[in-house]
Amino acid sequence: MTFLSDTFLSFRREIGPTLRSWYYIIFGIIQPLLYLALFVPLLNNMPMGGDGNALQWFVPGMVVMLVLFTTVSCGWSLTEELMSGSFERFLSTPINRPAILVGRALKELAPLLVQAVILILVALPFGLQLHAVPMLFGLLLLLGFGIGVAALSYALAIASKHDGSLFYLVSHSVALPLMLLGGVLLPMQMAPDWLYLASRFNPLAYLVEAERALFAGEIMFSTTVGWGVLVSIGVGVLGLAVGSATIRRATL
């Protein structure tokens, strides 16, 4: 119970400013909506396009991109707390260290889930088919993945100490290749053989494929979805392990 209560305490501490800044969620959804309006029409003549299939293919990729870039960048707020000393004071309390990471990660993911639901609802009138249970399972996979990536981002922020520019450089140098090789915007099956082979070493590609399968209504026990489950669990466990070890050893 201590872990759960401490996680809630950390979450409540972090979510307060976000709830008071309602425009955070509104502006966060603008970019995906622009992609829907300006990019999806370009896909209609491709193999996945036509009769709403472009949306069925593209929306899950957008949701994954939202989660990836938000959680990769979330350590930036921690660098500001490190410089101000507020995080050091928080660490002086007896709160469970892994709970700090999970609570902060959930603070980032809660608005993202709202944005994802809004994105799905907006796309429905334009041809997106609703498969509620598989889609919900897909969001749960992204929750596990997002917690892991956020924990790694916080670990990077602690490791980079007060150098915010180093954090920004490393985090975005990792996130961009992951997105491009994940097939978020275009199918990797259209890529040259060497590029497609490189994508097979990218765990995000398997998560994206699982999300697309679930958004298409595929059963949750298929091989494609199974790989996505493994990636979600693996990244979640790895992120929490690295993040917890880093925060325990932190000398701020």
Q: Which residue has the higher pLDDT, 86 or 250?
A: 86
- CB distance 14 to 107 below 8 Å: yes
pLDDT digits (tens, 9 = 90+) for 21-38: 667 667 777 877 887 888
- Look at the block and give the residue holding tokens 């193999």: 47
Compute the average pLDDT of residues 126-152: 91
pLDDT of 50 reads 45
Q: Which residue has the higher pLDDT, 97 or 180?
A: 180
- For residue 199, CA distances in Å to 11, 78, 143, 170, 182 come to 35, 31, 22, 20, 6
Nearest to 161 by CA among 95, 87, 72, 245: 87
pLDDT of 252 reads 47
Nearest to 100 by CA among 235, 248, 232, 233: 248
- CB distance 64 to 182 below 8 Å: yes
Question: Which helix H or strand E contains 178, and what residues bound it?
Answer: helix 164-180
54 φ, ψ to 5°? -60, -45
The overall average pLDDT reported for the chain is 83
- For residue 149, CA distances in Å to 10, 28, 106, 135 come to 18, 19, 12, 21
pTM of the model: 0.87
pLDDT of 162 reads 66
pLDDT digits (tens, 9 = 90+) for 146-188: 999 999 998 888 888 766 677 878 888 888 889 889 988 888 8
